[in-house]
């Protein structure tokens, strides 16, 4: 089997950056180059100040610090990296299409296709091309067709190797992966390519955890894994609405059902709704693929997971308005958290964006505090929705750097992200600063109802009456 000396990854985002840093860390004999067309992103990956890395993940900066400049490089020289590498990972974004056929549902594959064309143009020696991005089933055939029609005699093996890391725990998930999935052709050269890729992961993972499949199973399994995870969140969120009407407590229900070993305890935390760059995008993609194969009922079934998630976000915003005497106009509401979950600076599809949008439409004045998300990102998220002008967004929504001071004369606090630091705040001090009655809307089930009520708050918690 061929020994791997050089690999490259196209796309230095939330997947490419952490994944390649861990590979470099675990495989000191392999030179890993991560390339991107976004100069600012690459500059930040190369910044001396490790707090400026473009991706915040616990444990990541330590790994980058110990490998960068040795066998880990970040660069905008895409062609050079492709030319030199034996294995090329494609880890670019695959957002939901915003135009044309499949608009609003299908995955936009233009970035992936550009990568394939670039590889076809530059490669002079045989390469293994790995789909790391999440792609619709049968995308590998499109990549193969682009690569095989170059006429330059180079042989390409296409593998699907989807990533299962979750943000906020990326390093841990990579080091302790439940499984690694490698899909490829069943031909002798396809099998050899799978074994070569497997040998990289075998540096730190037991071989039994590396699953080899055909390429289509691998592509589809990634979409299905996300759909199943998101479905659990929507299922428990549906029940949380019922709990609020019936005196049942969603934590108790989660525990009661999660101890059934056939159900299991994970992904049963009721919340204001799931966010993140992938759950919604991947389910929409699954819905689109199902319907395009004429499987209407299959598409409808999975679409319901998204419908329930939208309902949960809307329900939370409506609860705030109805509790604050049916009007939030001119009322000061503090948002604790903007990221889509704790321990990440990523805000893509965060529930906070949609809750803020609904409240701003009601003319609330919002002040946001998030320990890791920048002001620029928060305004960009709101402006992107296009509901209001950028000027109006900046007039109605402000950013706080001091979460305690921000609560002075506030009518309510809404907890949108489960950052641990919110638990450590002196909530009595916060209560004293706020207008009375002081309301807390806990969309993350972070605090204790009894304690908050003892301090004087009117406290609403998702899934509890
Ligand atoms: P991202 O937007 O953070 O990063 C993608 C990067 O690719 C960007 O920096 C962009 O500039 C770069 N890029 C786009 N086209 C390029 C080109 N032609 N040449 C060079 N660079 C290019 O995206 P991400 O979150 O890292 O996701 C990447 C893929 O991985 C997606 O398909 C996603 O569904 C999948 N995925 C993401 C996660 C996650 O936790 N974010 C987890 C598993 C899988
Ligand atoms: C998810 C999957 O967990 C990863 O396996 C997958 O690789 C990734 O998507 C991807 O393809 O991008 P991620 O979105 O980063 O990872 O984070 P999760 O931990 O799955 O959380 C997603 C959302 O669901 C968050 O908003 C989170 O707060 C919410 N959630 C999660 C709940 O509301 N309740 C839960 O019980 C679990």
- The pLDDT of residue 139 is 87
pLDDT band at 465 (very low <50, low <70, confident <90, very high): confident
Which ligand is closest in space to the CA of residue 18?
A: 1
Q: What percent of the chain has pLDDT over 90?
A: 95
- The pLDDT of residue 141 is 87
Q: How far is the CA of 426 from the centre of ligand 1 (A)?
A: 39
* Per-residue pLDDT tens over the stretch 39-87: 999 999 999 999 999 999 999 999 999 999 999 999 999 999 999 999 9
- For ligand 2, say whether the CB of 414 is within 6 Å of any of its atoms: no
Q: How far is the CA of 343 from the centre of ligand 2 (A)?
A: 12
8-state DSSP, 102: T
- The pLDDT of residue 79 is 97
* Per-residue pLDDT tens over the stretch 239-262: 999 999 999 999 999 999 999 999
* Per-residue pLDDT tens over the stretch 371-413: 999 999 999 999 999 999 999 999 999 999 999 999 999 999 9
- For ligand 1, say whether the CB of 418 is within 6 Å of any of its atoms: no
Among protein residues, the one with the nearest Cα to ligand 2's atom 17 is 166
Q: How far is the CA of 169 from the centre of ligand 1 (A)?
A: 17
- For ligand 1, say whether the CB of 36 is within 6 Å of any of its atoms: yes
- The pLDDT of residue 381 is 98
Report the range of poorest mean pLDDT among 117-121, 140-144, 276-280, 281-285: 140-144
Among protein residues, the one with the nearest Cα to ligand 2's atom 7 is 164
CA-118 nearest atom, ligand 1: 18
pLDDT at 191 over 90: yes
Among protein residues, the one with the nearest Cα to ligand 2's atom 30 is 274
pLDDT at 151 over 80: no
Which ligand is closest in space to the CA of residue 177?
A: 2
Q: How far is the CA of 136 from the centre of ligand 1 (A)?
A: 15
Substitution candidate for ligand 1 out of 54, 85, 93 with most atoms within 8 A of CB:
93
Nearest C-alpha neighbor of 352 from the set 381, 329, 328, 326:
381
pLDDT at 90 over 90: yes
For residue 412, which phi and psi values (nearest 5 degrees)? -155, 155
Q: How far is the CA of 13 from the centre of ligand 1 (A)?
A: 5
DSSP line for 122-187: H--S-EEEEE-S---TTHHHHHHHHHHTS-S---EEEEE------TTSHHHHHHT-S-EEEE--SS
Hey, which residues does 131 pair with through a beta bridge? 90, 160
């Amino acid at each position: 089997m061929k020994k791997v000396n050089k690999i490259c990854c196209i796309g230095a985002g939330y997947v490419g950056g952490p994944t390649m840093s861990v590979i470099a860390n675990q495989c000191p004999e392999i030179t890993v180059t991560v390339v991107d067309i976004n100069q600012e992103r690459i500059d930040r990956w190369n910044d001396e100040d490790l707090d400026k890395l473009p991706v915040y993940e616990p444990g990541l900066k330590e790994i980058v610090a110990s490998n960068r400049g040795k066998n880990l490089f970040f660069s905008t020289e895409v062609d050079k990296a492709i030319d030199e590498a034996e294995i090329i990972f494609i880890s670019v974004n695959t957002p939901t299409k915003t135009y044309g056929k499949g608009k609003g549902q299908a995955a936009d594959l233009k970035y992936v296709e550009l990568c394939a064309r670039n590889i076809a143009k530059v490669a002079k020696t045989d390469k293994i091309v790995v789909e790391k991005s999440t792609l619709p089933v049968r995308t590998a055939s499109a990549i193969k067709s682009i690569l095989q029609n170059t006429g330059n005699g180079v042989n390409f093996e296409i593998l699907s190797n989807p990533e299962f890391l979750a943000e906020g725990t990326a390093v841990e998930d990579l080091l302790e992966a439940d499984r690694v999935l490698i899909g490829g052709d069943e031909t002798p050269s396809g099998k050899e390519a799978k074994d070569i890729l497997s040998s990289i992961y075998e540096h730190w993972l037991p071989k039994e955890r590396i699953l080899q499949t055909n390429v289509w199973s691998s592509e589809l399994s990634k979409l299905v894994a996300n759909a199943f995870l998101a479905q659990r969140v929507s299922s428990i969120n549906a029940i949380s609405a019922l709990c609020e009407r019936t005196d049942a407590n969603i934590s108790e229900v989660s525990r009661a059902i999660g101890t059934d070993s056939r159900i299991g305890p994970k992904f049963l935390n009721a919340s204001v709704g799931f966010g993140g760059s992938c759950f919604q995008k991947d389910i929409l993609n699954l819905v689109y693929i199902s319907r395009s194969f004429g499987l209407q009922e299959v598409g409808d079934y999975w679409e319901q997971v998204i419908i329930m998630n939208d309902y949960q976000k809307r329900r939370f915003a409506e609860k705030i308005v109805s509790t604050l005497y049916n009007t939030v106009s001119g009322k000061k509401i503090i948002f604790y958290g903007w990221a889509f979950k704790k321990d990440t600076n990523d805000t893509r599809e965060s529930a906070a964006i949609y809750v803020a949008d609904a409240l701003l439409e009601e003319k609330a004045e919002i002040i946001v505090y998030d320990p890791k998300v920048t002001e620029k990102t928060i305004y960009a998220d709101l402006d992107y929705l296009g509901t209001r002008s950028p000027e109006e967004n900046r007039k109605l929504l402000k950013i706080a750097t001091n979460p305690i001071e921000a609560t002075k004369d506030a009518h309510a606090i809404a907890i949108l992200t489960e950052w641990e630091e919110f638990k450590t705040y002196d909530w009595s001090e916060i209560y004293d600063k706020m207008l009375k009655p002081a309301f807390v809307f806990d969309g993350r089930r972070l605090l204790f109802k009894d304690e908050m009520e003892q301090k004087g708050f009117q406290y609403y918690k998702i899934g509890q009456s």
